[in-house]
Amino acid sequence: MAATSGRRSWHRHPSDPSVLEARTTTVAIELLRKGDVVALPTETVYGLAADALNPIAVAKIFEAKERPSFNPLIVHLPDEQWLERVAKVDDRSRAQIKKLISQFWPGPLTLVLARQPIVPEIVTAGLETVAVRMSSDPVFAEIISAFGKPVAAPSANRFGRISPTTAQHVFAELSGRIRLIIDAGPTMYGIESTIVAVREDRIDLLRRGPITVEQLAEFGAIHIVSAPKTVSAPGQLPSHYAPKTPLRLIDNAELFALEKNRRVGLLAWNAFIPAERFAAIRILSERQDLSEAAANLFRSLRELDDLDLDLIVAERVPARGLGAAILDRLQRASHDSGTRGRPE
């Protein structure tokens, strides 16, 4: 797993990507206080943050992302004290929630809980629940604790596009729409947080992520929610995370029959790579390490997507541990491939 040490701490002006200045988190904090949006690193992916308790500030997130307003946002907390100010923890689930929090917070686990009235409807998209998490990213933590209030932050990409794992990705997605991107280098996990809802001891898995089913299973029975009926969660839409280039999942590039005159890119997992057959190749992890693969996933997809290929083929990774979350993202990226112009 990528270490956080040695990460650059700079901020980048979207108006001029060549200008890197020594980090001034103060500017980010000022923007948050003024009710503006700012792109911040988290340990999972870059987020587009605004004051979660200020509906006008939150509206600016939807505007910049072109996100349909019916999609609820994750509320990031400065500390655990904020949990019960924004969410209701019912007595029957309390013990389980506390266990999960003490094990995984701060970190990439999002909990869906009943909402407190203080949370604006625009944040929860009118739902009676609110998604909360506490990021372990040191730069994010520094900014949010100085701000002193919860921050709503979806991934800092335009709606339906690949989540950004570097400040450069955010720039490619949102330049001209936001005033500041805090650049702290590539994110540690590279995929979005695991989302769960807790019902007494049972854990409903709403989105796979860095905290794996295996890790969660130590705390209770896991119920995998595949097609939620009541929640419009874009992370759960089949065609979310779509690159522009059609993407197909395959087991093994060696067995893939290439069609003539097509420029095909390979997102490789297996050790043997038939390099001569592909117009471009990105290797998820030379060491076949699933954490490294997750950290490289969105950057590799984005790079292949930028090459104007006819097709991207992605080798399936093992479905264990983090591999399940990677497969989930690849499946969504491959869904309806070729149908361009879809909103999501």
Applying CB under 6 A, which residues contact ligand TXA?
42, 44-45, 47, 71-74, 108, 110, 112, 124, 127, 129-131, 153-155, 192-193, 195, 206-207, 231, 233-236
The minimum distance between CB 125 and ligand TXA, in angstroms, equals: 7
Element (H, E) at 168: helix 167-174
Specify the residue, 205 or 268, whose C-beta has the smaller distance to ligand TXA. 205
**Cα 79 from Cα 66, distance rounded (Å):** 30
Identity of the residue, 160 or 265, whose beta carbon is nearer to Mg ion in the bound complex: 160
CA torsion, ordered 120, 77, 215, 252, to nearest 10 deg: 70
Cα distances from 25 to residues 40, 109, 146, 162, 333, in angstroms, run 10, 25, 9, 26, 34
Q: Which does 32 bind (CB under 5 to 8 A by kind): ligand TXA, Mg ion, none?
A: none
CA separation (Å) from 202 to 54, 125, 128, 197, 226? 33, 25, 20, 8, 16
Considering the complex, state which of residue 197 and residue 317 has its C-beta at the smaller distance from ligand TXA.
197
Kindly state the smallest distance separating residue 61's Cβ from Mg ion, in Å.
11
- Partner whose binding site includes residue 193, from Mg ion, ligand TXA, none (CB under 5 to 8 Å by kind): ligand TXA
Judged by beta carbon, residue 154 or residue 323, the one nearer ligand TXA is 154
Laid out side by side, the sheet with 247-250 consists of: 247-250, 311-315, 264-268, 280-283
Rounded Cα distance between 10 and 41, Å, is: 11
Quote the least distance from Cβ 234 to ligand TXA, whole Å: 5
Report if residue 166 touches Mg ion, rule: CB under 5 A: no
Task: Indicate the residue among 45 and 290 with the shorter CB distance to ligand TXA.
Answer: 45
231 binds, among ligand TXA, Mg ion, none (CB under 5 to 8 A by kind): ligand TXA
When CB distances are held under 5 to 8 angstroms depending on the partner's kind, the choice from Mg ion, ligand TXA, none that residue 39 binds is: none
Would you say 56 or 114 has its CB closer to ligand TXA? 114
193 binds Mg ion (CB under 5 A): no
Q: How far is the CB of 79 from ligand TXA (least distance, A)?
A: 16
List the one residue from 155, 194, 334, 337 that touches Mg ion (CB under 5 A): 155
In this structure, the dihedral spanned by the alpha carbons of residues 215, 220, 223 and 229, taken in order and rounded to 10 degrees, is -110
Using DSSP, state whether 196 is helix, strand or coil. strand
* Cα separation values, 130 from 196, 239, 272, Å: 11, 23, 45
Residue of 90, 78, 98, 81 lying closest to 129 (CA atoms): 90
C-alpha to C-alpha distance for 202 and 101, rounded to whole angstroms:
15
**What are the residues binding Mg ion (CB under 5 A)?**
155
